[in-house]
Amino acid sequence: MFGFYERGLIFASEAVRCIKFLGLLCVAQWILGTTYHILLKYYPIIPFQPTLPPGVSVTVKEATISRMGFFSFDIWGINFGFLLAGTVIVLIAWIMDEGRKIQEEQELTV
Amino acid sequence: MNRIKIMSRILKILSLLYFVFFGCLPFVRKMPDGVQIVWGTYTTFSDAPFGAKLIVVLGAGLIFAVVITWYQLLNLFEKGIIFSGRNVQLLGRIGCLAFIYGFLGIFSPLLISTWFAWIGSFPMSLNFVWISICAFLTSPWVIVGLFLVVISRIMDEGRKIQEEQELTV
C-alpha cells in the first residue's frame, strides 16, 4: 500500500484493494481470537502437573484483571478493539473508492 | 456512497452507546490487590501521586476530544460529505490526538520518575528512558495516529480532485 503511495498512485484500485484487505484481516483476526478465547473458556487446557514430593501442594489462584483503558473495548470478556479497527479501515477503503471514482471520471473528462 | 452513510450511522450509534454505558478511564487498571495507575499499583485512586492523577486527567481530556471529533466526522460522512476541507481537518486532528495519547501513555512513567527526581523524593530511573523509547517505536497509538494523518493528507488530495472536477464545465 505504501509502495503505491510512494509512486503517487493514491486512488488506484490496487491501493484501495490493499486497504480493504487490511481491514478484512483485522476482522478475521478478531473472529479467530474471539473463537479461540471462547473455546478456551469452555474447554480449558489442563497444564501438566508434575509429581510432587509428600507434604508439598500447589494452589492455583486466578486473578481477574479488569482493564479500564481507552480502546480496550472489553465487553463481557470479548475484546472488540480489532473489530472496530477493521470496520474503520474498511470504511476508509470505501471512502478511497469514492475518490478513485472521482479521479477516473476526471481523467475521462476532455 | 450509501454504504458509507449506513456504516457511519452504525459507528455513531455504537460509539455513543459504548462511551455512555461503559466509559473509560485512561491508564487505569483494576487489579486484584488495588488499582494500577500509570504502571504503579495503589490501594485506591486517591493514593496515587499528583503526577499520575494529572496524566489520567490529561488522557481523559484527549479521549473526550477524540470522541467529539470522531462524532463530527461521522456526521459529515452520514450527510454524504466525503472530501471536504472540514473532513481533512477533523481526520488530521484525530490522528494528532491519537499520537499525543500514545506519547503520553508511553512517556508517563518517565515523566513521573522525573517529577519525583525534581522534588527530591526518588532518584530518576534511567531504565524508563530506554523502555520508553522502545515502547514509542512499537506503540499502536503512535502508528495509528501517523496512519490517520497520512489518510487525512490523501483525503486532501481527493478534495482537490473533487473541487477541480466541480469547476469543470
User: How many domains are there within chain B?
Assistant: 1
DSSP state of B37: E
Nearest Cα of chain A lies from the Cα of B120 at a distance, in angstroms, of: 31
> B82 to each of A94, B8, B10, how far by Cα in Å?
10, 11, 17
What are residue B30's DSSP bridge partners? Answer: A66, B35
Distance CA A93, CA B90 (A): 18
* Domain assignment present for A24: yes
Domain containing B82 equals: 2-167
Give the closest-approach CA distance of B77 to chain A in angstroms.
9
CB hemisphere CA count around B83 (13 angstroms): 26
Looking at the domain assignment, is residue A31 inside a domain? yes
Distance CA A106, CA A87 (A): 29
* A60 band by pLDDT with thresholds 50, 70 and 90: low
Interface test with A, best of B161, B164, B169 (most A CBs within 10 A): B161
More confident residue, B101 or A44: B101
Contact B165 A102 (CB under 8 A): yes
B5 vs A contacts (CB less than 8 Å) = none
- Number of structural domains (chain A) is 1
Cell of B80: 454524504
Q: What is the nearest CA distance from B26 to chain A, expressed in angstroms?
A: 5
Flag whether A105 is in a domain: yes
CA B134, B135, B140, B146 torsion: positive or negative?
negative
CA triple B98-B104-B109, angle to 5 deg: 150
This prediction's pTM: 0.75
**Host domain of residue A107:** 1-43+78-110
Q: Which residues of A touch B (CB under 8 A)?
A: 5, 10-11, 63-70, 72-73, 75, 87-88, 90-92, 94-96, 98-99, 102-103, 105-106, 109
Q: Are B138 and B78 in contact (CB under 8 A)?
A: no
Between CA B162 and CA B83 the distance in angstroms is 7
Cα–chain center distance at B137 = 16
Q: For residue A71, is it within any domain?
A: no
Task: Give the pLDDT band (50/70/90) at residue B27.
Answer: low
The answer to whether the CB of B28 falls within 8 A of the CB of B56 is: yes
- Residue A21 lies inside a defined structural domain of this protein: yes
> Which residues on neighbouring strands pair with residue B34, listed in sequence order?
B31
| Dihedral of alpha carbons A104, A106, A107, A109, sign | positive
pLDDT in tens, A12-38: 888 888 888 888 888 888 888 888 878
Whether B35 contacts B41, CB under 8 Å: yes
Give the residue ranges of DSSP H helices in B120-139: 127-138
Q: Is residue B100 helix, strand or coil?
A: helix
B58-103 pLDDT tens trace: 888 888 888 888 888 888 888 888 888 888 889 889 889 888 888 8
User: Does residue A56 form part of some domain?
Assistant: no
Rounded Cα distance between B4 and B106, Å, is 34
Q: Where does the pLDDT of residue A64 fall: very low under 50, low under 70, confident under 90, or very high at 90 and above?
A: very low
Check B161 against A11: CB less than 8 A apart: yes
Q: Do A65 and B32 touch (CB under 8 A)?
A: yes
Does A59 reside within a domain?
no
- Interface ipTM > 0.90: no
